[in-house]
Amino acid sequence: MRFAKGWGTHILAARGAKRWRTRIVSPRSNQRWRTQRGLWVVLLGPDGAGKSSVIAGLGSGVSAGFAGCERYHLRPVLGRRGQGNKPNTNPHAQTARGTLISVFKLIYLLAANWLGYLAMVRPRVARGMLVLFDRYFVDCVVDAKRYRVPASCRRLTELVAALVPQPDLCVVLDTPADTLQARKQEVTPAESQEQQKQYARLAAQLPNAAVVNATRPFAEVLDEVMDRIIEQHLARREKVLQLA
């Protein structure tokens, strides 16, 4: 099963605009809300869960009350505006790096993620944009083989995952192993099953995670992801208004 790209934008425009018309009650509050921050959302899930299709389906984010949308894969890189996911048909092909090299790599990634956040993510969120990530550093904890992290560095990886900037919302697309294998065969069935368990465990540990059942038709999955984003955005708005 393969998700179509882009057609979910029409669903977002129709349903998102309707929700925002009913929830923002006055021109004054609407004007005030436009000056507030946007949202940083990370999509997580095993290979074949549909992360890229959902991100494409969310479109520009304007109809959901955002000033625009920026997309990144894993982390922003200075000098590049937005990055798409580069296809990797065999993510576990390479062996893990040595412990010493991995330690330096993880320290570098900690610094690089903070730099990318301060230079690219935070300014866009401050301008009211929706910033979407296809995967994030915490993915290293779930799928260490993909990132060539040895078992000896697991605790350090978990520490770095706690120290990097944290998104406003993590959406975890939950999909059974047989469905994942029907969509993609980039990893073994056993690995797909293990990844599903690990992502479910991760979602239970993260304070800002929302689990979405991704086995349903794409329109329903996209609609729920949009709902979660809008709810989080509204919750932040209400918090700002209470503090004002």
For the chain, domains (ranges, CATH) are: 8-86+93-243 (3.40.50.300)
pLDDT at residue 34 in the model = 45
pLDDT score, position 20: 41
Phi, psi for 96 (deg, rounded to 5): -65, 150
| pLDDT tens across the length of the chain (244 residues) | 443 444 344 434 445 444 444 444 344 444 444 445 899 999 999 888 999 999 999 987 777 789 999 999 999 987 666 555 566 667 777 888 999 999 999 999 999 999 999 999 999 999 999 999 999 999 999 999 989 999 999 999 999 999 999 999 999 999 998 988 888 888 888 888 998 999 999 999 998 999 999 999 999 999 999 999 999 998 887 776 666 6
Instruction: Assess contact for 58 and 226: CB atoms under 8 A.
Output: yes
Residue 40 burial by CB count (10 A; 0-12/13-18/19+): exposed, middle or buried?
buried
* Cα–Cα distance for residue pair 112/114, rounded to 1 Å: 5
Q: What is the pLDDT of residue 10?
A: 41
Q: Checking phi first, is residue 199 left (phi over 0); if not, alpha (psi -120 to 50) or beta?
A: alpha
Work out whether strand 39-44 and strand 209-213 pair parallel, antiparallel, or are unpaired. Answer: unpaired
Sort 243 into a burial class: Cβ within 10 Å, 0-12 / 13-18 / 19+. Answer: exposed
Residue 30 in 3-state DSSP? helix
Full-model pTM: 0.81
- Strands (E) in the chain, as ranges, are 39-44, 69-73, 130-134, 169-174, 209-213
Q: Residue 86: what pLDDT?
A: 61
